[in-house]
Amino acid sequence: MERQVVITGLGAITPVGSDVPTTWAALVEGRSGAGPITHFDASNLNTRIAAEVKNFDPVAFFGRREARRMDRFTQFALVATQEALQDAGLRAEEWDAGRIGIIIGTGIGGVGTLLAQAKTLETRGPRRLSPFTIPMIMPNAAAAQVAIVHGITGPSFAVISACATGTNAIGEAASLIRRGDAEVMICGGSEAPLVPVAVASFSIMGALSTRNDEPQRASRPFDAERDGFLPGEGAAILILESREHAEARGVHIYAEVIGYGSTSDATHITAPDEEGRGAAEAMRLALHSAGLKPEEVDYINAHGTSTSLNDKTETRAIRAVFGKHADRLAVSSTKSMIGHLMGAAGAVEAIATVKALETGIVHPTINYEHPDPECDLDYVPNQARKINPRVALSNSFGFGGHNACLAFRKWEI
């Protein structure tokens, strides 16, 4: 019999909250975390707005010396992991370190450190480079630092699949538990992309919103007047356990991970397949692995980027999978409030999905004001809704044609 995988701990640092409770409260309220970019002078960019993490002081968490040896994305991951471990009631003196694993992904890793060190090399010469440059920029740094800080000796690595990263990390972590390679997995994603080269590069592609005078209205998934996504930063970590391990500890269980699907469009390096075939197949695979019929799903946390192509493609994919049941689904986008956290997006959205199952409340898609004929589902516009979902999906689609979907079930035992 296949092992059941349950969720026992949640941790997050996002543009709307320094932890999971404050983040979830903001999402239910429909509060945006967007504003003018303050991390650097963005006055010469087409997009001058973003969803930044507020009031984050790494020195307060790590001390000055250690903070200087970690990129911001790794710092975020460590903070979110600490919250998740505490939430799960996991203590180092009680765990079997070799039976705990880590998968923490990122889309572009330590790009802030890379940019800063490149400038140092150019202006001050190679002798002034930090000896920690490579350990700070490598994408596996977050997973490695979590292992080092907590003395965890089980499998530890990073997943990198652009904006599908966080979802893939959770799905692969669940797979390790199911096949018996771990009892506990620390998994999720972290991203700190709000640096000039990253924002400017996304902007020159035409991917970002330029609604600079109205930052809190800029991210508007599925709305007819959407003009691009809003870049964001942050991290989210989930603690997964085998059911037997969690019940032996007597801890609170949030939900069960029951399905996972992953596919590739194999069509274009940035644009999704316009018919949504890869996205639809990822959802079908998640349903199949969960043993679910489409009509058993109550809610979908959409990828919902606020880009013209993604939103209508995702809508087509949902209709292709769910048929007439698509009209009975609640569908909402977390990105309407926190922007697009890229490699961390799927992990934050997984937490939002799990909280919806736990509380019975589905957060809204804010800024939905002008219906688009090509986006014709129930996007839970502007106000949260009590629907008491039992089964939910969380979608993530990334540059490179990466598609991933997770299926969760409310814990009722």
**Residues labelled as active-site residues:** 163, 303, 340
Q: Which amino acid is located at 279 in the chain? A: A
Question: How many other C-beta atoms can be found within 10 angstroms of the C-beta atom of residue 237?
Answer: 37
Q: What is the 3-state secondary structure (H, E, C) of 310-352?
A: HHHHHHHHHHHHHHHHHHHCEEECCHHHHCECHHHHHHHHHHH
Are 105 and 238 contacting, i.e. CB atoms less than 8 angstroms apart?
A: no
Return d(Cα 219, Cα 208) in angstroms, integer. 9
Between β-strands 184-191 and 234-242, what pairing exists: parallel, antiparallel or unpaired? antiparallel
Q: Which amino acid is located at 304 in the chain? A: G
CA distances in angstroms from 286 to 78, 181, 183, 195, 406, listed in the order given? 29, 21, 22, 35, 6
CA distances in angstroms from 329 to 151, 277, 319, listed in the order given? 43, 20, 10
Q: Is 120 helix (H, G, I), strand (E, B) or coil?
A: helix
Q: Report the run of H or E that residue 260 belongs to, with start and end.
A: strand 255-264
Cβ-based neighbours of 220, under 8 Å, separated by 6 or more: 226, 306, 336, 366, 367, 368, 369
Return d(Cα 296, Cα 392) in angstroms, integer. 9
The tokens describing 264, both together, are: 């590739």
Cβ-based neighbours of 122, under 8 Å, separated by 6 or more: none
Are 223 and 367 contacting, i.e. CB atoms less than 8 angstroms apart?
A: yes
Q: Report the run of H or E that residue 353 belongs to, with start and end.
A: helix 345-359
Identify the bridge partners of residue 190 per DSSP, sorted by sequence position. Answer: 235
Between β-strands 330-332 and 361-362, what pairing exists: parallel, antiparallel or unpaired? unpaired
Q: Is 128 helix (H, G, I), strand (E, B) or coil?
A: helix
Are 263 and 356 contacting, i.e. CB atoms less than 8 angstroms apart?
A: no
Return d(Cα 323, Cα 23) in angstroms, integer. 33
112 alpha-carbon distance from chain centroid: 19
Return d(Cα 356, Cα 390) in angstroms, integer. 9
